[in-house]
Chain A
Amino acid sequence: AQTVTQSQPEMSVQEAETVTLSCTYDTSENNYYLFWYKQPPSRQMILVIRQEAYKQQNATENRFSVNFQKAAKSFSLKISDSQLGDTAMYFCALINYGQNFVFGPGTRLSVLP
């Protein structure tokens, strides 16, 4: 069975600073994807960044980057130059080929002015 753990229920960061959200997972598969999703109050699940497990290079998307440690099964998200619009719930998710998404419990991030 696949599991995803996010050990930080809540985080806060000052505007323009950097914050890192933690995620660990467990899977017995070799081919999988990892994702970070942002969910604002509108409920829309918005893809922030994704990582293919077979790629060693960490994914980056503008201010968002990940630290993917496959052996340790760790997948943290770093948000640089935090903006007020980054305030939301953040979910780490895993999907194996031919199976469904497994989500973590989420981290509520507040960006403070």
Chain B
Amino acid sequence: GAGVSQTPSNKVTEKGKYVELRCDPISGHTALYWYRQSLGQGPEFLIYFQGTGAADDSGLPNDRFFAVRPEGSVSTLKIQRTERGDSAVYLCASSPSGMEGMAEAFFGQGTRLTVV
């Protein structure tokens, strides 16, 4: 596709439920990033993939959060036993590899997750 696509655009779920958020990066981009943005704040890092592997998952807040990128393209962020504090916009970005690639990162429009 022409840009980074995130689905769904909005998701409302009940406390305790499981949710999956999808990110479809720009074709050919090897790096993929997930961020969480709470209302009125800057994005906070969750996890960074280089290809299929997680290069840095130090931002995942706890073991309820997990992300995969099995074929090095589409990524899924999975949240188990959702809590109201998980409500936020989840942003995904992708970029080509390498030093110069970092300058070519593009963000998706995000998924707004609301846990009720």
Q: Which residues of A contact B (CB under 8 A)?
A: 4, 31, 33, 37, 42-45, 47, 50, 52, 91, 95, 97-106
Q: Is the beta-carbon distance between B103 and A101 smaller than 8 angstroms?
A: no
Q: Which residue of chain B has its CB nearest to the CB of A31?
A: B99
Among candidates B48, B108, B110, residue contacting A99 with C-beta atoms closer than 8 Å: B48
Known A99-B56, A100-B59: A43·B42 in contact at CB below 8 Å: no
Q: Is the beta-carbon distance between A100 and B103 smaller than 8 angstroms?
A: no
Q: Is the beta-carbon distance between A43 and B112 smaller than 8 angstroms?
A: yes
Q: How many A-B residue pairs have CB under 8 A?
A: 55
Point out the residues of chain B lying under 8 angstroms from A45, CB to CB.
Answer: 43, 91, 93, 107
Residue of A37, A91, A102, A103 with most partner-chain B CB within 10 A: A103
Q: Is the beta-carbon distance between A106 and B42 smaller than 8 angstroms?
A: yes
- CA A37 – CA B112 in complex, angstroms? 19
Interface residues on B, range: 20 to 34
Q: Is the beta-carbon distance between B42 and A91 smaller than 8 angstroms?
A: yes
- Does B13 lie at the interface of the complex (its beta carbon under 8 Å from any beta carbon of A)? no
Chain B 78-90, CB-CB to A under 8 Å as 1, else 0, gives 0000000000010
- Does B115 lie at the interface of the complex (its beta carbon under 8 Å from any beta carbon of A)? no
Among candidates A37, A43, A102, A106, residue contacting B45 with C-beta atoms closer than 8 Å: A102
- CA A4 – CA B44 in complex, angstroms? 12
Residue of B35, B42, B103 with most partner-chain A CB within 10 A: B42
A22 CB to nearest chain B CB (Å): 15
Chain B 36-59, CB-CB to A under 8 Å as 1, else 0, gives 000011111100101000011001
Q: Given A99-B48, A100-B33, A105-B41, 18 other A-B contacts at CB below 8 A?
A: A4-B42, A33-B102, A33-B103, A37-B107, A43-B89, A44-B107, A44-B108, A45-B43, A52-B103, A99-B56, A100-B56, A101-B35, A101-B43, A101-B45, A103-B42, A103-B43, A103-B44, A106-B40
> Which 8 A-B pairs give the minimum distances between C-beta atoms?
A45-B107, A103-B42, A43-B110, A100-B48, A100-B45, A105-B42, A103-B43, A44-B109
